[in-house]
């Protein structure tokens, strides 16, 4: 690929026209930039010269495109070998640069999977999110953690697979509660043979692959054999498993017969807003759905919105065998080729008109329409609350970004700071931030000092990354959990950083520390309160409760990690696998620190050189 940039002295249509002399008919990606070199738009083209030529002539451009052209000060071009490569590159650049005039997928979290591990003689079944690095069989994606948890619970009832960690497994001397309530077969204590446990693992994997009929037939045969052999207790247990499996199947909702593996993507637009519903079907089973609200201008064609969404959605995800759309793309085959190139196998992209697949699309469209209606209602309510907030605190206009801060610790230990963000779309969870308090010179429990550290780090970073406040990442209003002291401390550090113009309000519980009697503190103004039934007060309480929840959750996670830490975590060369081997061999981390060199060398998987490293690490430290 080659890249070329050229500076032209003119603007708008004339400036774009000036690039035509240097362009040929190659496929590629173009970027349109404003006078300050900020990317306005990223697009792909089968023929760069023809595509750019369309922008160089005034004509039937939508208001959005006409406005974008008028702001264009320069362009950049990347030529590619094929149009498919251009499409993949375009979507990667959109996700990276987030141009103002592109359709943007704002919520881009990963989806959880179910993992059946294969690194242990008795495989574990568990929830997994992120890179698939651990050895085992992965099944998913599921639409949410809740969908995974429900499926795991059902699988445990039917197949009795363990969900404990390997360390817990190795250190059990008697069955745990999961065995007592018939959620585990007790392999840790020899309650099931290796062969029988392996059979249940295969059955669980077959179920997740959609082969439920064969499993039921096998279980029914085993139950009949047990009954014929007068093994009534075993027959009753198998009967219970068959009943649980039947309940699982009946609770899975719409299970298509002809759609083994597909994502159904449906788009609904209204009033300049869009909702996209994605339903996940795997192994002929409905594994849940998730809604998205991409940023649009309102004058895009449905095919344009759908193409942008599909490209960005699969930029960092593996596509299924089939992608079923509610609206066709301008070039379905191009998108199918791009997804196939990413997946390394064939991917069908279809827009069905009849049959079962069309019914799946109709169901997804109904959900998209209902979700967007709820979203628009919530947005209208949110707009009224932001306007009321501006009036209550005498702000020049309704805030578009509110940042709420809080700290959490226990007598100074495991201290964390938390920031949540709210705006016209409600809470923006992908903008939440946590801060591990680093101040070594802080007095334990010094809330003022902790808040100063958090605010210093937050705004020093903003000043470095966006000094001109052009990206929308700067807050219009800060809500601080605390009274006059906290507000004064934060105002002091903000003034030192040169950002003292940002509005700030301290929220403190008033008389008797009761909710509804909050007092609000602002620099240079008298303390105030809101009516106990004021919707704005409830809005502030929700934001304060959310930052409390996030701060406490972050603190608990940090504390739990510290509790589970062992001296082995810091030994060079000792990863998770060797750590498990050492703990299984010696029984505890303390015993490892006291072990002699010969005993360390006897551990399976620990080489002589690593044994020497471990021995030297603990004995050099005394």
Taking the C-alpha atoms of residue 98 and residue 94, their distance in angstroms, rounded to an integer, is: 5
pLDDT of residue 388: 93
190 lies in some domain: yes
The residue-averaged pLDDT of 452-468 equals: 88
158 lies in some domain: yes
Split at pLDDT 50, 70, 90, the class of 244 is: low
Using the predicted structure, report yes or no on whether residue 577 has a pLDDT greater than 90: no
Let me know: does 420 contact 427? Beta carbons within 8 Å. Answer: yes
Last residue of one domain, picked from the residues 561, 584, 610: 561
Higher-scoring residue by pLDDT: 327, 214:
327
Of 88, 65, 524, the C-alpha closest to 298 is 65
**Residues near 465 by beta carbon (within 8 Å), at least 6 away in sequence:** 471, 473
**Order of strands across the sheet with 136-139?**
125-128, 113-117, 136-139
Does 131 share its domain with 90?
A: no
Does 427 share its domain with 485?
A: yes
pLDDT in tens, 532-542: 888 999 999 99
Last residue of one domain, picked from the residues 212, 230, 251: 251
Using the predicted structure, report yes or no on whether residue 1 has a pLDDT greater than 60: no
Return the SS3 of 603.
coil
183 lies in some domain: yes
Let me know: does 60 contact 70? Beta carbons within 8 Å. Answer: no
Does 83 share its domain with 125?
A: no
Flag whether the pTM goes above 0.75. Answer: no
The residue-averaged pLDDT of 269-297 equals: 88
Write out the residue range of the structural domain in which residue 126 sits.
112-251
Does 419 share its domain with 530?
A: yes
Does 242 share its domain with 270?
A: no
Split at pLDDT 50, 70, 90, the class of 325 is: very high
pLDDT of residue 622: 46
Going from the C-alpha of 583 to that of each of 170, 598, 602, 606, the distances in angstroms are 9, 16, 13, 12
The residue-averaged pLDDT of 491-518 equals: 81
Does 126 share its domain with 80?
A: no
Taking the C-alpha atoms of residue 196 and residue 194, their distance in angstroms, rounded to an integer, is: 6
Please state which of the ranges 11-20, 213-222, 247-256, 268-277 shows the lowest mean pLDDT.
247-256
Locate 338 and state its tokens. 């791009």
381 lies in some domain: no
176 lies in some domain: yes
Most confident range, picked from 99-108, 301-310, 375-384, 508-517: 301-310
pLDDT of residue 248: 57
pLDDT of residue 442: 61
The residue-averaged pLDDT of 192-198 equals: 88
505 lies in some domain: yes
Alpha-helical segments (H) within 98-165? 145-159
The residue-averaged pLDDT of 350-373 equals: 92
Does 242 share its domain with 269?
A: no
203 lies in some domain: yes
Last residue of one domain, picked from the residues 47, 72, 102: 102
Count structural domains, the chain: 5
């Amino acid at each position: 690929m080659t890249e070329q940039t050229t500076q032209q002295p003119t603007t708008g249509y004339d400036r774009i026209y000036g690039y035509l002399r240097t362009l040929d008919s190659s496929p590629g990606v173009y970027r349109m930039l404003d006078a300050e070199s900020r990317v306005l738009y990223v697009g792909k083209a089968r023929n760069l010269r023809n595509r750019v030529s369309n922008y160089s002539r005034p004509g039937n451009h939508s208001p959005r495109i006409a406005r974008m052209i008028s702001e264009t000060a320069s362009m950049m071009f990347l030529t590619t070998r094929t149009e498919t490569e251009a499409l993949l590159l375009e979507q990667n650049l959109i996700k990276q640069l987030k141009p103002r005039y592109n359709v943007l997928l704002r919520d881009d979290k990963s989806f959880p999977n179910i993992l059946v591990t294969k690194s242990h003689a008795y495989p574990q079944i568990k929830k997994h999110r992120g890179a698939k690095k651990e050895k085992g069989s992965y099944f998913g994606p599921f639409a949410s953690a809740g969908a995974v948890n429900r499926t795991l619970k059902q699988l445990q009832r039917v197949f009795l697979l363990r969900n404990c960690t390997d360390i817990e497994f190795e250190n059990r001397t008697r069955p745990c509660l999961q065995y007592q309530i018939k959620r585990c077969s007790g392999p840790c204590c020899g309650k099931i043979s290796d062969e029988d446990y392996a059979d249940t693992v295969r059955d669980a994997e077959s179920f997740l692959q959609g082969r439920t009929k064969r499993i039921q037939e096998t279980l029914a045969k085993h139950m009949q054999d047990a009954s014929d052999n007068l093994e009534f207790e075993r027959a009753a247990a198998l009967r219970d498993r068959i009943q649980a499996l039947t309940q699982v199947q009946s609770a899975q909702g719409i299970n298509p017969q002809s759609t083994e593996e597909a994502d159904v993507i449906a788009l609904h637009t209204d009033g300049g807003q869009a909702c996209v519903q994605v339903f996940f079907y795997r192994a002929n089973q409905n594994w849940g759905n998730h809604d998205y609200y991409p940023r649009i201008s309102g004058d895009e064609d449905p095919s344009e919105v759908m193409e942008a969404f599909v490209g960005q959605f699969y930029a960092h995800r593996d596509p299924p065998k089939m992608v079923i759309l509610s609206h066709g793309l301008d070039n379905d085959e191009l998108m199918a080729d791009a997804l196939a190139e990413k997946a390394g196998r064939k991917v069908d992209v279809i827009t069905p008109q009849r049959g079962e697949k069309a019914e799946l699309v109709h169901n997804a469209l109904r959900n998209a329409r209902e979700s967007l209606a709820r979203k628009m209602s919530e947005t209208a309510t949110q707009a009224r609350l932001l306007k009321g907030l501006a009036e209550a605190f005498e702000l020049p206009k309704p805030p578009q970004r509110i940042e709420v801060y809080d700290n959490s610790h226990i007598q100074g230990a495991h201290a964390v700071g938390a920031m949540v963000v709210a705006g016209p779309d409600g809470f923006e969870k992908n903008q939440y931030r946590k801060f591990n308090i680093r101040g070594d010179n802080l007095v334990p429990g010094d809330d003022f000092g902790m808040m100063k550290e958090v605010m210093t780090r937050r705004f020093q970073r903003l000043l470095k990354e966006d000094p001109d406040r052009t990206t929308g990442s700067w807050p219009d209003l800060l809500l601080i959990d605390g009274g006059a002291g906290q507000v004064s401390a934060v105002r002091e550090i903000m003034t030192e950083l040169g950002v003292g113009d940002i509005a700030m309000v301290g929220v403190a519980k008033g008389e008797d520390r009761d909710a509804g009697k909050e007092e609000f503190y602002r620099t240079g103004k008298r303390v105030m309160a809101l009516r106990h039934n004021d919707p704005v007060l409830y809005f502030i309480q929700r934001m304060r409760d959310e930052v409390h929840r996030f701060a406490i959750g972050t603190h608990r996670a940090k504390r739990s990690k510290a509790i589970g830490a062992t001296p082995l975590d810091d030994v060079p060369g000792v990863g998770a696998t060797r750590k498990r081997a050492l703990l299984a061999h010696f029984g505890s981390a303390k015993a490892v620190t006291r072990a002699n060199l010969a005993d360390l060398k006897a551990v399976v998987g620990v080489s002589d050189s690593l044994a020497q490293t471990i021995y030297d690490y603990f004995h050099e430290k005394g």
